[in-house]
Chain A
Amino acid sequence: MPRNGDWMRQAQNSFDHYLPDVRGIRSRSRRPETLIGAVGIGLAVGAVTYMAARLMSSSNPPSDSAPGRTARRGPWFGDYTVSGRSVTINRRRKDLFAFWRDFQNLPAFMENIKKVELKDDKTSVWTIAAPLGREVDVETKIVEERDGKLIAWRSVPGSDIDTEGRITFSDAPGRGTVVTAIVAYKPPMGELGRLIAKLFQREPEIQGRRELKRFKMLMETGEITTSNPQRQSA
């Protein structure tokens, strides 16, 4: 049984690896973390195939500091659909963190999340719109939090959707904050599963990117840009 968090560690390590480099201060000593991540997920989802793709790929020589998810041969995350993207937002890190930390704000910029109800400080129930007018409730728990820097959540066992997400905030001097979100879904079996898969796997990259861009718009301008000249129509 693959451990839930393995793909996440892999993806996040790649991002950790990448982000400081954007600001030109990454030290080469971080490289081994990526390898550890690679080994972790390799063991989880098929060591031989993964390691071959990961390590033999000519696009990932030791001199390449790009994140793993930009590799020409994409990393393999097993059954999970993973999307990850960075965006620079012209606001202070702590403001962005505070807005995101209140999960009830998520529906304001995430199209599929209809509402979020808080059960306690760490636990919330997300109502997610599925195709054909159906809705799915997913209970998530914050599994890691570093004030102003990182929020990671995971669905509780037995949820309709097995999902994890991690968002990090880091200073981008002179231009605000780099926000990186990585979200993974593993839909359930059965008919509902197929519907949800359709919803989330169609174009998860595009969806993830659009959500981050809407978050950026809301944070920078106070509204989400639309060219629609009427309120009611979609």
Chain B
Amino acid sequence: MRALTWHGTHDVRVDTMPDPEIVNPRDAIIKVTSTAICGSDLHLYDGVIPGMLAGDILGHEFMGEVVDTGPKSTLKKGQRVVVPFTISCGSCFFCEKQQYSACDNSNPVDKQDLSEKLYGHAVSGLFGYSHLTGGYPGGQAEYVRVPYSDVGPIVVPDGLKDEKVLFLSDILPTGWMAADNAAIEPGDTVAVWGCGPVGLFAIQSALIMGAEQVIGIDHHPHRLELAANLGARTINFEATRVSEALMEMSGGLGPDAVIDAVGMESHGFAVDSLLDKAKQKVGVGADRAHALREAIMAVRKGGRVSIPGVYGGFLDKFPLGAMMEKGLQIRTGQTHVQRYTKDLLHKIGEGQIDTTFLISHRLPLEKGPEGYKNFHDNQNEWTKVVLKPGE
């Protein structure tokens, strides 16, 4: 089969790889019909995530047709499914609590040591996202082996086209969980740093959850336009002093909840992010986090801090004093995708959520490397790239 593989920083290629097979009883094989490049794939592209090996197949946002099933899979050949990027066994302590992205069993035993050392506990398995999270071949390929296929994949009705449901794999539930973690109450002002895919879906979700106003912060005019189209107010941080603007736009109170949908690719024009960047060049771990620091300073006393943005290492100059003295709550984590897919699929079917506005480019899988380069270099126009294997 053809698959998009990682070979080093800013070096991805489409290679011919062996087709995947059913290995364990609960497996299924999916023939991929649509797969997207994610903002977090750019972390791999930039080489800032440890545990990547040359030849690893990327991609964790994919959907397709079931073409083979193990004896314990509950899927049937021919079904169309969207596959969550988080791999979950469904039967451990965490899965039973619906904390699917904390699954104890989905990261193979020999791959657990690295994250156990880095984070104190082994992380769960994810598709196409380094050997830290299991070394699973990803979905930017013609075929994927999906373990625990009786737990993760959600069957979608034929009436809903790929582009309407593809983002159930990650960014839609991730944006939704970001808003969920912000514990929104009527009358709230919610500020969202980053109007990339997750930020935009967080904005959309926060409005559905009843926020009085949602403020999107970015510097790409087109992304701010998309935020405004969803009903958000916007701040361009290149033109505006963000903290002062947020105070004024929330009646001098500060936002009730803040969402950092930027993560470690944060690139505000500030001294602290330059410092972070310098440290990141020196070695693993100094996350660039200007947005998070600004969000913590901006949020009102007793407010909520939600972090869907991806971080991998350590953070300097974390405003812990502001956290403590203002009595903030912080909630974060990889998305518990399976907790949200059913409800979100329903909302898509009802027309309450539309995700297709985000897609700026559609390319055949063979042009994947071009997609990565443009998505990386030109974030204003390239808001979301969908790759089509076999085209």
Give chain A's interface residues, CB within 8 Å of chain B: 88, 90, 175-176, 206, 210, 213-214, 216-217, 220-231
Contacts and interface: CB of A to CB of B under 8 A. Distances in A.
Interface residues of chain B: helix, strand, loop or mixed (majority): loop
21 contacts: A176-B93, A206-B113, A216-B105, A217-B89, A217-B105, A220-B91, A221-B148, A223-B24, A223-B26, A223-B72, A225-B89, A225-B106, A225-B107, A226-B24, A226-B147, A227-B125, A227-B134, A227-B135, A229-B18, A230-B18, A230-B20
Task: Say which size band chain B's interface belongs to.
Answer: 20 to 34
Contact of B96 (A90, A214, A221): A90
A45 B357 CA distance: 73
Contacts of A213: 109, 112
Contacts, number: 75
Given A230-B18, A230-B23, A231-B21, A225 B91 contact: no
Interface of B: 18, 20-26, 72, 89-93, 96, 104-113, 125, 134-137, 145, 147-148
Nearest to A217: B105
A175 B95 CA distance: 12
A99 B18 CA distance: 36
B167 to A, nearest CB: 24
Contacts of A223: 24-26, 72
B152 to A, nearest CB: 13
Contact of B91 (A88, A90, A175): A90
Contacts of B25: 222-223
Contacts of B110: 210
Contacts of A217: 89, 105, 109
A230 to B, nearest CB: 5
A222 B23 CA distance: 13
- The 9 A-B pairs with the shortest beta carbon distances in the complex, nearest first, are A229-B20, A223-B24, A227-B136, A221-B89, A229-B145, A227-B135, A210-B109, A227-B134, A213-B109
Contacts of A230: 18, 20-21, 23
B164 to A, nearest CB: 29
Contacts of B24: 223-226
Given A221-B105, A225-B125, 5 more contacts: A88-B93, A175-B93, A225-B89, A229-B21, A231-B21
